[in-house]
Amino acid sequence: MKKFILIVCLFTITTNISAQSSSVTVEGNAEINVVPDQASLNLSVELDGRNLSAMTKRVAETTNDFLALTDELNIKRNDVMTSGVNINPRYRYENKTGRRIFDGYNISRSIQVDLKNIDQLGSIIERSSAQGINNIAAPIFRFSQEDQIIQSLHTLAVQDAIKRAEALVDPLNASLGKALKIDASSIQSISPPMMEMRALDINSSLAEQSYSVGQINYSQSVLATFEIEY
């Protein structure tokens, strides 16, 4: 998957010029959109029934089949985590008598997979479903070079503040002096919504279809105060 990065500087609203202190305070913003290249996937197999031994065996077989699938896809075992088997008795109530009557078991086991290669997402979802995995949560998307994105946001937000400050002092026949104070907000990130499946070839199998994952939006704002030099 080709990586795509879109950088947008947002020009926003907060400005304050103080003649008394010869300073200007502005807000600068930056936004970067990236296509995620990694994902975390939470899956589970869950069964209801009365034959606890048979159900336990089936859950174990499904889990082992899934682990074999991750091996086939060259997903490292360190990136796959499985929970223990959860077994809970089920009961139903008789309306007439109010009695609680045993009604079998609910048995489940959870699996979490960290995909370093997001191109495997469609294949692992389709093939795990065929193996008996019957609960798949929406993936959590990530970008592997997030640290670089955060550093770029800092720089872009400050650059945006400098441009706004310069635009304010230029009509005063003044120039921008040193920065007196810069306050940065925390980084905000918005992941894309649940993925949407898109077939590349009408004749392809489900496992060969791809998922359009959208983009992750990162944003940050700074509040900067600069000296005004006349």
Domain count, the chain: 2
- CA gap 77, 205 in Å, rounded: 27
Cβ atoms within 10 A of the Cβ of 51, count? Answer: 12
Per-residue model confidence as pLDDT tens for the chain (230 residues)? 444 445 444 433 344 554 455 999 999 999 999 999 999 999 999 999 999 999 999 999 999 999 999 999 999 999 999 999 999 999 998 888 888 999 999 999 999 999 999 999 989 999 999 999 999 998 999 999 999 999 999 999 999 999 999 999 999 999 999 999 999 998 988 887 654 433 333 334 444 445 677 899 999 999 999 999 98
pLDDT tens sequence across 171-197? 999 999 999 999 999 898 888 765 443
Six-digit token string for 218: 């990162």
What pLDDT is attached to residue 70? 95
Q: Contact at 8 Å (CB) between 34 and 218? A: yes
Specify the 3-state DSSP secondary structure of 141.
Answer: strand
Based on its alpha-carbon atoms, the radius of gyration of the chain, rounded to whole angstroms, reads 27
Give pTM, 2 decimals. 0.73
CB atoms < 10 A from the CB of 27, how many?
Answer: 21
Residue 55 is predicted with a pLDDT of: 96
Residues 131 and 53 in one domain: yes
Distances 168 to 20, 26, 154, 161 between C-alpha atoms, Å: 16, 9, 22, 11
Residues 45 and 135 in one domain: yes
Same domain, 42 and 136: yes
Beta bridge partners of 140: 40
- Residue 128 sits in the same domain as residue 48: yes
> Whole domain around residue 12: which residue ranges?
5-36+144-229
Q: Under DSSP, is residue 14 helix (H, G, I), strand (E, B) or coil?
A: coil
Domain final residue pick, 91, 107, 141: 141
Among 7, 6, 3, smallest CA distance to 154 is for: 7
Residue by residue, DSSP assigns 146-210 as HHHHHHHHHHHHHHHHHHHHHHHHGGGT-EEEEEEEEEEPPPEEE---S-EEE-S-TTS-GGG-E
